Structure 1
Amino acid sequence: MSSTVPADACEVLVVGAGPSGSACARTLAQAGRDVLLVDQHDFPRDKVCGDGLIPDAHAALRVLGVHDEVMDQALRAAHVRCVAPRGGHVDVPGQLAVLPRRQLDDILCRAARSAGARLATPLRFIAPLADGERVVGARLKGPGGEHEIAARWVVLATGASATALAAAGVCERRAPSGVALRGYVRHPELAERLRELQIVWHPRLCGGYGWIFPGPDGVFNIGVGLTGSHATELGGRARMREINLRRMLDTFCEVHAPAAELMRHGAPQGELKGAPLRCSLGGARWSRPGLLVTGEAAGSTYAFSGEGIGKAMETGLLAAAALLEGGDDAAVRARYEAALAGLKPRFELYEKASHVNHRPWLADLVVWRARRSPRILRRMSAVLEERQNPGRLLTWRGITKLMFE
């Protein structure tokens, strides 16, 4: 599913065919807009991710009309198991599923094409084309050399790498918000027993967390994530904390028996792979004249959980809505930035909640209380579904109330 000869002009050029870019391209194409969708890889392609689909992802997939197709291939789960340092756990119900990004992103990209968007790959974003301050297209590089594509609007959906953001003149912070490492391991016997998503906190996980997500065909996604991975030094430069993610994964196996069983007796499916995370709608300008930034390029990942698929699609849909409503540059940009600003308080709440990663004893307290209180368990489920402020559970004020409810 690829093309290497793009047209030299389009109405909207979407750079990046992941969840945000494909969501944006499909929505625009369905409305009759002339859309060119480009990506630096041929599809289907792999993508480093936890692969978990939580309620916000399900909602976005329904809006895009691909939920049934995704769920036909995904492994459904009834709850996420939150495992505290002392071994206690609580199962939080929710609408959950797991599907490798290779399959998910391919479905979304094909949906954009079926709506009328043209796809051209492999093409890497080099720089914007500009007329004064306004972006009027992009220079892209492929196997046949460089191409210049003129566009009325460019949507930058290039993921967590700062390279494209810097080239586009919208990067405010090159360092990521966090880092993660994941691998695929096949273990059919364990798959018969472990059917829930598991997230684990422990003091030995260096201010991060571990996960095991069961996927289709007895293949698990196992990994570790670390938020606040880069410390700011004098002069404003950021340096990654001295933490080895592979050793962190080894530690995860030492403190969590299912992880040990999976890695010792399962069959690895490829190599371990790492990736940066950009969280909390920070680190980049959301727009400049002629250009909108969406998905993880705009920081669409939650700092607390590392979940970003649903929010990436949501920001792509918001970019498309701003463009479809029309108006001049200032109106489109203002509309889009106002929509992202409306999401910002929610991201800030999850940013505050992420301090549980650095104080895992809080997970012990919350799990202990949730096992004894159906109301607190319902509250945790509501956090998963974004109907509840996570600060009511995972801030000092929330913890104080938790102790006396």
Structure 2
Amino acid sequence: MSEAAAGALSCEVLIIGAGPAGSAAAQLLARAGVDVLLVDQQLLGRDKICGDGLIPDAHAALRRLNLLDSVMARAQFVSHVGCIGPSGGRIDVPGHLAVLPRRELDQLLAQSAIDAGARWLAPARFERTVENERGEVVGAVLKQGDALTEVRARWVLLATGAVPKALTAAGMCERHTPSGVAMRGYIRAPSMVGRISAMEVVWNRAVRPGYGWVFPAPGGCFNIGVGVTDSHKAVGGKGAKQELNLRAIFDAFCASYEPAAQLVREGEWVGELKGAPLRCTLEGARWSRPGLLVTGEAAGSTYSFTGEGIGKAMETGMLAADAVLAGRREHLADAEVRARYEAGLLALKPKFQLYARANRVNAFPWLADLLIWRARKSPRLLARMSGVLNETSNPGNLISVKGFSRLFLE
């Protein structure tokens, strides 16, 4: 049942979804004195299928939320991303990185919003928007068990993740199929601690057109998985799935990459392998309508090349909160708040498109071999690759005609 009264029928901002985007927005708004109701269909401590990697953009967002120290106290610190190509070549790209299972991270984020003053309602599932006679969103209908509760709000923030059901119910879905799919599991293997110390990302023909990963996690555990971006192509707005078997790709990854095989042989599975969709490149959904803002992975906040989305989800959630707070502070009209939020997303869009360009590595893994071979000989190229992690270098330029010509000049 809920920690807030089930009969709470009004608030200033209703946030549906307590993942990184929704909880980040809720914390900023509640901290500013806004009456926030944060809703999730699961209780605190729910699981989320994810690689769990926290790259520098996530660190920056957590710092703004005053949570970086708390998260890092629980997380596994990692100093490098290990990029491994089809021929077995490897380059370790330095970065300030960490790994923390989403079950723990999301609970910390949601609890921080509650501690800041947000009200909490769970489990409660979003059913539909409530609209006035002009078609403006003025709240939402939530389902708790068999009961329906109508909540009135000045703003509704939809932060419901990659599954399109809520987007469709809110009239915001432009593409029902995901941008990609991923599968991951956890293995406890104390014998592998220290033997796998980087966030390892592997490209080879066995996992084409995707990639495999092994990330060290706290407590002698490892997050192991595979991802395939561009797993669907748009056909009549609905899309058509490629002939993919994620479990077969996962098994092929373990068979083709010896550290993954060792992990499976020597470790003990913690739970089951689980799959999930990805929504990438800030595409596939409308970003706003009167009274409603779409944020986080529902808005496509995941990078297509790497599948990383935690930092950008928080960033989009905070952009939504900033727009609402500006509207409150400056007495802006609905359209002006929405325009401010969409301008923030548009400013991020070029970066997402560059990652989409870099995504060709997943389809042509030999490109990874070429980059790794050259980066081992070029400190400047390695620094540029590190800059991609830190968002100070352009990932698209690494995988371009100009970029390849530079590989042989540096």
| Equivalent in 150, 155, 158 of residue 156 of structure 1 | 158
Name stretches of at least 5 consecutive residues in structure 2 with no aligned partner: none
> Residue 394 in 1 paired to residue 396 in 2?
no
2:378 aligns with 373
Cα offsets for 1:155-208 (capped at 9, x unmatched): 000000100000000100000000000000000010132111000001221210
Give the alignment's TM-score, normalised by structure 2.
0.97
AA partner of residue 276 (structure 1) = P
Q: Distance in 2 between matches of 1:103 and 1:204?
A: 32
- Could you give the per-residue CA deviations for residues 241-295 of structure 1, whole angstroms, max 9, x where no partner exists? 1110001001101211111111122100001000000000000000000000000
**Aligned-partner residue type, residue 37 of structure 2:** L
Give the structure 2 partner of residue 203 of structure 1.
Answer: 205
Contact persistence 2:207–2:253 (CA under 8 A):
yes
1:40-189 aligned within 5 A: 40-131=41-132, 132-143=134-145, 145-189=147-191
Cα pair distance change 1:156/1:258, threshold 3 Å: same
Question: What CA distance in whole angstroms lies between the structure 1 residues aligned with 2:135 and 2:61?
Answer: 33
Normalised TM-score (structure 1): 0.98
**Cα pair 1:2 1:43 within 8 Å, conserved:** no
Q: RMSD of aligned C-alpha atoms?
A: 1.1
Q: Which moved more, 1:139-148 or 1:174-183?
A: 139-148
Match of 1:353 among 355, 358, 362: 358
Identity %, equivalent residues: 59
The amino acid across from 1:268 in the alignment is W
Paired residue for 1:337, among 342, 367, 372?
342
Which aligned runs of 4 or more in structure 1 are off by greater than 3 angstroms?
Answer: none
Contact kept? 2:187, 2:223, Cα under 8 Å? yes
Aligned partner letter, 1:124: R
| Distance of 2:277 and 2:7 partners within structure 1 | 29
SS of the residue 1:36 aligns to = strand
Aligned counterparts of 2:323 and 2:72: Cα–Cα separation in 1: 29
> How many Å separate the matches in 2 of 1:171 and 1:307?
22
Name the SS for the 1:222 alignment partner. strand
Q: Do 2:191 and 2:266's aligned partners in 1 also have CA atoms closer than 8 Å?
A: no
- Say which of 373, 384, 390 aligns to 1:385: 390
Please state how far the C-alpha of 1:363 moved relative to its aligned partner: 0.3
Q: 1:333 to 1:236 in 2, by over 3 A?
A: closer
SS at 2:408's partner residue? Answer: helix
Query: Per-residue CA shift, 1:336-365, capped at 9, x if unaligned?
Result: 000000000000000000111001111000
Name 1:243's counterpart in structure 2.
244
Extract unaligned runs of 5+ from structure 1.
Answer: none
| SS in structure 1 at match of 2:86 | coil
Which residue does 1:194 correspond to in 2? 196
Equivalent in the alignment of 1:290: 291
